[in-house]
């Protein structure tokens, strides 16, 4: 058997391992093993590649060492609260690698045939958009740049022109790759600008959608690179990732009751809704001690976290409080909205870090029917995902978005710094409900206050 054929069998094995690994990621019991299996598939693909071709190893070894060390340290050192930006950055590097592979193939052999030049162009375009888009997403998530949507007049026209420019330079490049070097460079530059332009109009709380989408793009970029080097394993693995990213994107959009188009182009949250500001009624603040008396008597408690939990780093304090409540005889559950936080499943990871068992975490659709019989709902740093206006105020910009219906509980505590509006810029009428009590202050400090009240009595 010739070695090229043998390598392809190894690639088939890798593809099967990737598929199994992804499948096993869909259950908490098998997920860790699934990840390991998928990593083993990657290892096989790399080893197979290295023994197949007559390669010179010096640059490979150096590159793998540098990349491996950076990856190792980044993965070890990153804080769990910084996970969204880390994932965004890794994503971007995958896209950049695909861009570079396309570029390297072109430089190696300038006289590409028409079909190959199309695939080179696609890998550069998708890879470039993924890279610069992910870097902007990283900046927004880590607050290196403002998380607010950046909008200007004619933005969509500019984006359309950029896309046309990219495609035009791609066509000119494809017609004559040898002479079209300048067009190729233009395509690279335009792709990078385009990536920046499509992510800047998207606001912080829409980031779950963007990260999922960029995830999908990074897979498609790998696919395109696979077409360039005519390699099945890149195509299969890239397509699997592309599909999974699209599924996640779809789930996120549904959880916000918005279309992907709307998320990408509307710059939601940039418009401040003036007419909702003058809400009737008064908010009822509560202090830690009174909150303690109510919690002490509560038999069932539901905790609803939002991005504020991550911002205040309050996950460990929350876990401590919930353990104390359980010892006090209450049933404690967590209600997690699909878009709470800055990436899909953000809250689950944070709470898992604080040792909250995952069978205490409930999805929105499972927790909502039980909320009528709940004594206390504690809302920590969540706002729009619990705003009843989504259910009953047709003029509200978030009308129709599914929410966690905390207002149906007997008492609702809202832990909040101030009366500032949430991401959508909408005043939350929940704060004015008769059964709502506002516990103002830093979420972490408030929870620690509650914990010490329990301990001192």
Separation CA 327–CA 237 (nearest Å) = 47
Closest CB to another protein among residues 162, 210: 210
| Shortest Å, Cβ 430 to another protein | 23
| Shortest Å, Cβ 349 to another protein | 5
- DSSP summary character for residue 53: S
Phi, psi angle pair for 303, to nearest 5°: -105, 125
Residue entry with tokens 């905790």: 303
Separation CA 42–CA 166 (nearest Å) = 32
Closest CB to another protein among residues 51, 270: 51
Separation CA 284–CA 434 (nearest Å) = 8
Closest CB to another protein among residues 228, 414: 228
Closest CB to another protein among residues 337, 416: 337
Helix (H, G, I), strand (E, B) or coil at 305: strand
Separation CA 51–CA 245 (nearest Å) = 32
Q: Exposed, middle or buried: residue 369 (CB in 10 Å: 0-12, 13-18, 19+)?
A: exposed
Residue 361 β-bridge partners: 334
Closest to 337 measured CA to CA, from 401, 419, 394 = 401
| Shortest Å, Cβ 73 to another protein | 9
Cα Rg of the chain (Å, integer): 25
Q: How far is CA 364 from the centre of its chain?
A: 18
| Shortest Å, Cβ 371 to another protein | 18
Contacts of 444 (CB under 8 A, 6+ apart): 312, 313, 314, 317
| Shortest Å, Cβ 233 to another protein | 6
Token digits for 21?
Answer: 């690994």
- DSSP summary character for residue 285: B
Other beta carbons less than 10 A from residue 6's beta carbon: 12
Residue 303 β-bridge partners: 334, 378
Q: What angle do CA 185, 212, 207 make, to 5 degrees?
A: 95
Q: For residue 224, what are the CA distances in angstroms to 14, 115, 118, 324, 371?
A: 19, 12, 10, 53, 48
Closest CB to another protein among residues 143, 326: 326
Q: Exposed, middle or buried: residue 289 (CB in 10 Å: 0-12, 13-18, 19+)?
A: exposed
Separation CA 179–CA 110 (nearest Å) = 9
| Shortest Å, Cβ 302 to another protein | 16
375 among known catalytic residues: no
Closest CB to another protein among residues 138, 227: 227
Distance in angstroms between the alpha carbons of the first and the last residue of the chain: 77
| Shortest Å, Cβ 193 to another protein | 20
The two beta strands, 331-336 and 300-305, are parallel
Closest CB to another protein among residues 27, 280: 27
304 close to 406: Cβ distance less than 8 angstroms: yes
Closest CB to another protein among residues 277, 366: 366
| Shortest Å, Cβ 276 to another protein | 29
Q: Residues 359, 384, 393, 442: which is the catalytic one?
A: 384
Closest CB to another protein among residues 1, 114: 114
| Shortest Å, Cβ 394 to another protein | 28
Active-site annotation, residues: 384
């Amino acid at each position: 058997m010739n070695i090229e054929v043998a390598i392809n069998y190894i690639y088939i094995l890798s593809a099967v391992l990737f598929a199994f690994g992804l499948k096993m990621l869909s259950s908490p019991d098998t997920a860790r093993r699934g990840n390991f299996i998928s990593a083993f598939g990657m290892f096989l693909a790399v080893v197979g590649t290295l023994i197949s071709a007559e390669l010179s190893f010096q640059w490979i070894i150096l590159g793998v060492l540098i990349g491996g060390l950076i990856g190792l340290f980044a993965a070890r050192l990153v804080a769990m609260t910084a996970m969204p930006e880390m994932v965004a950055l890794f994503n971007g590097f995958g896209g950049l690698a695909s861009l570079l592979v396309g570029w390297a193939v072109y430089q190696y052999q300038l006289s590409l045939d028409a079909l190959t030049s199309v695939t080179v162009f696609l890998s550069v375009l998708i890879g470039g958009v993924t890279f610069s888009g992910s870097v902007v997403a990283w900046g927004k998530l880590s607050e290196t740049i403002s998380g607010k949507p950046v909008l200007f007049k004619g933005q969509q026209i500019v984006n359309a022109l950029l896309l046309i420019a990219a495609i035009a330079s791609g066509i000119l490049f494809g017609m004559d790759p040898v002479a079209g070097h300048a067009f190729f460079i233009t395509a690279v530059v335009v792709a990078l600008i385009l990536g920046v332009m499509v992510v800047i109009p998207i606001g912080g709380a829409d980031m779950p959608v963007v990260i999922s989408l960029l995830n999908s793009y990074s897979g498609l970029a790998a696919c395109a690179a696979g077409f360039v080097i005519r390699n099945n394993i890149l195509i299969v693995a890239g397509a699997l990732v592309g599909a999974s990213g699209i599924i996640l994107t779809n789930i996120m959009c549904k959880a916000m009751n918005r279309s992907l188009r709307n998320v990408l182009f509307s710059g939601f949250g940039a418009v401040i809704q003036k007419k909702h500001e003058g809400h009737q009624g008064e908010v009822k603040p509560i202090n830690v001690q009174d909150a303690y008396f109510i919690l002490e008597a509560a038999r069932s408690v539901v905790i609803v976290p939002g991005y504020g939990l991550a911002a205040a780093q309050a996950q460990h304090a929350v876990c401590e409080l919930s353990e104390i409540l359980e010892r006090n005889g209450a049933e404690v559950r967590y209600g997690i909205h699909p878009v709470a936080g800055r990436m899909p499943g953000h809250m689950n990871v944070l709470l898992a870090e604080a040792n909250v068992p995952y069978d205490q975490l409930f999805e929105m659709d499972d927790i909502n029917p039980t909320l009528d019989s709940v004594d206390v709902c504690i809302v920590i740093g969540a706002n729009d995902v619990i705003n009843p206006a989504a259910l009953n105020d047709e003029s509200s910009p978030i009308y129709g978005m599914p929410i966690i219906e905390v207002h149906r509980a007997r008492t609702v505590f809202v832990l909040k710094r101030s009366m500032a509006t949430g991401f959508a810029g909408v005043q939350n009428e929940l704060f004015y409900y008769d059964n709502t009590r506002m516990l103002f202050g830093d979420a972490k400090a408030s929870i620690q206050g509650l914990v010490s009240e329990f301990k001192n009595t």
